Every structure is written in C-alpha cells, then in structure tokens.
Amino acid sequence: MPDTVPTSKDRLVFAAVLAAGESRRFGRSKQLETFDGKPLVRRAADLARDACGDRSVLVAGYESTAVAAATGDALQYLVVNDRFAEGIGGSIALAAKTLSHVADAMLLLFADQPLITPGHLQALIDTWSGADDEIVATAFSGTTGPPVLFPSGAFEALGKLSGEKGAKSVLRDPHFDVRTVPFEDAAIDIDTPADLENLQR
C-alpha cells in the first residue's frame, strides 16, 4: 500500500499557555489582571482547553502558585519555569521539551493576548497540513507571531531557546515552511496598565 500523508486531524496537538513572566513593565503579575470578568491567564487556559481539550499545558514561573490557581478548572497540566527571570526563551524551550515525547505539534499562546478567539486557534490547527516541517503562525500588523502552531520537527530548535529571545529565529529558519492565518486582533497585547485600561474602555 502507498504511504499516506498525515493530516492535522490524525496528529496530536497540545496547547501550551505561556504565563511565566515577571510583567516588569506592568509592575505586577499581569496574568492575574482581569479582563471581561476573567483573569488573563484563565482566558488563555480556557482557549487552550477549547482548542485541545485535556491536551493543554500551563507554563508558569513568577507567582506560579497564584497564576496556576487563577486558571481554576481550566488547568490541565502545569510546568514551572524556575528560571523565568532569564526571559521568555526558556519558557518556550521548557514547553517544547515537556511535550516532545507526546505531541505531534504545539499550539503556543500567550496569556497577554486577550482578544484571541477559539475560532482563530481552530483555524491555525485546521491550516496545518500535519507535516513536521510546517509552521502555522498568526499574521497581524505586517508581521507574524503568536499564537503559533509548531510541529514536532521544530521542537529541537525551540528547546534550545534561552534568554529574552522568543521563537522568531525558528519562524525564520529556512528549514521550515511557514503558513499564516490573518488575525489582526493578535496585535493587541497587554504590557502596561494603560494597555489594559484602554482595552477595557
């Protein structure tokens, strides 16, 4: 029989919510701030559960106990980045290493993008062909970024990230074919109290 090409429907996609940072520009843990009646981290955890069911992981760090508690019953698995102060790269690397033996792909989302919708996450999953060298990123404001679906073929590269550098280097790696799904509201993220106040108006 001829080999069949796997599709995204045949593969196990796990969601990984990044919520480990110190929120230095915000001045306190922004993951715990409320938007539209929910803590930001709970909103992201709910999105992860909607997209991937019980295949979801929270990467916490700063105030990890409070951040994990704020997810309520949406929390599935928790991993703690004890080196969160070194930057986001380590949290992405930890997520990739945690899922490397169980996931065919990782849907990476951040707790500070409150306008992401379940429909957009599903569109990212549906756009993925199932190939190990195909990344599906969000397109907004003339760039590409999170949420991003990374196939298992990218886990090794993601696992080497450290410091303040995110996954842009992997998105630019010519070994990967990057597809995009437009979603302009992904440009809205919460860095400062003013950002949150403006969004709530």
Does residue 165 have a pLDDT over 60? yes
What's the pLDDT tens digit per position in 131-158?
Answer: 999 999 999 999 999 999 999 999 999 9
Q: How many CB atoms lie within 10 A of CB 164?
A: 10
Section 172-186 average pLDDT: 95
Does residue 185 have a pLDDT over 60? yes
Q: What is the DSSP letter of 81?
A: -
Contact 103, 13 (CB under 8 A): yes
Section 74-86 average pLDDT: 89
Domain 9-200 maps to which CATH number in 3.40.50.300, 3.20.20.140, 3.40.50.720, 3.90.550.10?
Answer: 3.90.550.10
Structure tokens at 54: 């019980």
At residue 174 the predicted structure's pLDDT band, cuts being 50, 70 and 90, is very high
Q: What is the pLDDT of residue 10?
A: 72
Q: What is the pLDDT of residue 6?
A: 52
What's the pLDDT tens digit per position in 12-56?
Answer: 999 999 999 888 877 678 889 888 889 999 999 999 999 999 999
Q: What is the pLDDT of residue 8?
A: 56
d(CA 30, CA 120): 23
Question: pTM of the predicted model, to two decimals?
Answer: 0.91
Section 68-76 average pLDDT: 86
Section 176-191 average pLDDT: 93
Alpha carbon separation from 201 to 35, 62, 127, 195, 196 (Å, rounded): 11, 28, 34, 10, 9
